[in-house]
Each structure stands twice: as C-alpha cells, then as structure tokens.
Chains A and B, each alone.
Chain A
C-alpha cells in the first residue's frame, strides 16, 4: 500500500513539476474546451463532427509537444529529481500530460460522429501516430515545431496535384469500394502528411495499425531518450 501511495504521489508531483516548468502550455485547456464545444454543436446542428475532428487532428502534434527534455536540460526539473521523483516517472507523466487531453477530446469527437467504426478506428490509429511523432519531435525542440512542420506537410499534400488526386480517388471508394484504385503506399504517403484524411476516406485496416505502431514506438523512444539523456544544466553542450 505504501509503495502504491508513493507512486501516485510521485505521479502528481511529476505532473505539477512538468506543468510549472512549462511543459503544458496554458493555451491547451481553453483550446480543448473550444473543440469539445464545437464538436457538441456540430453534432446537434449539422449531424456530423467533421470540422471538430479535423481541427482536433490538426492540433494533436501541438498538444503532444512538451519540450520536456529541453526544459530538463536547462535544469528546470533538477530539484524534483532530487526530491525523489524518478526520471522515468517524469517521462511517463510527460506522455500522460501530453496525451490525456488529446484522448479526451478525440473521444468526444469520435463518440459524437456518425462515421463507420472502421474510420473511427483508422482515425484513432492516426491520432496515436501524430501524438507519438509530436511527442518525440517536440521533446528537445520547441514544443510547437512538429505541429508547424505538419502544417507545412499538409500544405504540400494539398498543393500537389498528386496529393489532391490521391485524396479524390480514395474518397470515391466511399461511394463504391470497387472504384478505389489507390495503392496503399501512395495512400500511406498522403496519410503521413495529412492524417485526418483517414476520417473521410476508407483506409485499408493495416495502414492505421502500422501508423499507430510507429506512434507507439515514438512514445517509447521518447521515454527512453528522456530517461537516459544528459541534463547538463548551466553547461549546455
């Protein structure tokens, strides 16, 4: 009992320390509330939540970026480690603090949507992919870097005739599955640049699973990196 209590206490302390160090920016909560509100309004007024889901997907990498390792390297988490919270617990709570709100709003949006289960599962897989890449990429860099890069990637997909054509052809499969002649590789490239496409078009089941595995691997790699990296403090290498 003692150890489980101390584990829970350490988790709370880790979350507090990360928050005070600046890992969870204050714009997140109002943004999440706005998306949840938009999803509720859309489901009542329009009957689907496509805008809310697209917006949530767009923001996932922004939410997942914490700069936790950059903050630790500056020494901002030195004292909480000295107070007995392990680096692993800090890493795990950084993942939790980054992904819990995403899961919460994603759950609301997907729960209210009227799309088939297969597409919901696909979007959930792609969300994990975005979250994992956003977490790993934003660990030692500015927290919003991956989100901005993904914004550019979306622009590239939408500006290229190749990208637009892939989305159009894949969308046609919604009307008649026999019309879909997009190769999985081509669809994977478009999905990597613009993951929310998975919410609007049928996607072969293995692709979201593959992307989800990549996302999960990124989360695990991020935790290991955070745990093992040097935190040089004043002496920045």
Chain B
C-alpha cells in the first residue's frame, strides 16, 4: 500500500513551509527526501506520521513510524524495556541502561527498533547521522531489504552520497513545493548526484 499526501499545506505563523504538496511513496522503492534546512522535510514526515496536523490536505496510506534520532528515545530504562514498550522482543545485548550509551549507540538502538517493527511505513529523519561507515553499510542493507520486501521507506537527509548510493526515488523539497524524481535503472550514482547538486545550487545553499 503506497503512502500518499494530497495538497498538504502547513504554515508556522506567516511562514508557509509546505504549500500544496502532493506526493506518493511507492512500496518496494526507497525514497529520499532532500532539501535545504527549513524546507519542511521534518514537517512533512511528522504530518504523514500523524504527529502534527496539516493546515489542509490529507494523508492516505499505512500507519507510519517516524524516527528522528536519539532525541526521540526515552530517558530511562534499558534498550529491552524500550523495545517491550513498542511490542518488540528483547535482544541479548539490550540490558544496558540507555543513559549509559553514547549518541551513536543510542541512534542504533532507535534504528534497530524502528527496523524491527514490521508493519508501519518507515519515515526516518537523517538516519545516517552519527553512524560509523560500517554501521551505515549495515543500515543501507536493512533499508533496502525493507523496501524490497514491499515496505514504504522514506529517509530525509542532507547526505547526498547516501542518497546517490541507495535511493530509488528522490523528493526535492524547497520553497514549499515538492518534486519527485524517479531514478531509472540505467541512471548511475553520478547522474543523481549532479541532479541533487543542481537543485541545491539553484537555491544557493549547496
């Protein structure tokens, strides 16, 4: 089941962040959401997850899980206690108190829980932040596995290398509008990277 948003509008005071955004995220394809700071990436994902309301427009599709980094994790308990609160089973190395973990370790705890939840569409906000190179590789494998298994996976990021490496679809968000670019099979990494840089250069924020 695809996740789609129709004519989404959202303002913060007089500042219009999303202006009639219409998009569809297809199951089986990994989508990346890119755009300058303040373009509305987090706002769009949180609206889709039902965490904030749009001024107008609608969201259709499966239940969504938004994960925005270790700030979203609880402050007490262990990884296993956190996982039980999500209805997940314990993991062998999950007995350490969350308060004793580094930021990178906390981020991995959150990502592992998000990826272990089978049902929802995954909306990940800057998932590659604070991860070491081999953790990024493992994350990419799991994201692709999830997408190829028929799930909806959307990652918001500024990391153009990772986008060029694994994204099937790229949504450019800026000036309140969204443009979806679907990568064809023959389009290589460099082609997409040039597209991304062109998008940012056009807004003088690259």
* Cα–Cα, bound, A74→B66 (Å): 13
Question: A234 near B71 (CB under 8 angstroms)?
Answer: yes
Question: A80 near B86 (CB under 8 angstroms)?
Answer: yes
| Stretch in contact with the other chain, from B28-36, B110-118, B160-168, B175-183 | B110-118
Question: A82 near B71 (CB under 8 angstroms)?
Answer: no
CB contacts between A and B, total, < 8 Å: 98
Question: B66 near A16 (CB under 8 angstroms)?
Answer: no
Given contact pairs A78-B72, A233-B42, A83 touches B49 in the complex (Cβ within 8 A): no
Which residue from chain B places its CB closest to the CB of A9 in the assembled complex?
A: B87
Number of contact residues on B: which range applies?
Answer: 35 or more
* Cα–Cα, bound, A147→B67 (Å): 34
Question: A76 near B46 (CB under 8 angstroms)?
Answer: no
| Stretch in contact with the other chain, from A19-27, A107-115, A120-128 | A19-27
Task: Write the residues of chain B forming the contact surface with A, with a CB cutoff of 8 angstroms.
Answer: 12, 42-43, 46, 49-53, 63-69, 71-77, 81-82, 84-87, 110, 113-114, 117, 119-120, 125
Known: A19-B77, A78-B51. 11 other contacts (CB 8 A): A13-B86, A16-B85, A21-B76, A22-B75, A79-B73, A81-B50, A84-B63, A230-B52, A231-B51, A231-B52, A235-B43
28 residue pairs bridging A and B, Cβ less than 8 Å apart:
A17-B74, A17-B85, A19-B77, A20-B77, A21-B75, A76-B72, A76-B74, A78-B51, A78-B66, A79-B65, A79-B86, A80-B86, A81-B51, A82-B65, A82-B67, A82-B114, A84-B63, A84-B87, A84-B120, A230-B52, A232-B52, A233-B42, A233-B46, A233-B71, A234-B69, A234-B125, A235-B42, A237-B12
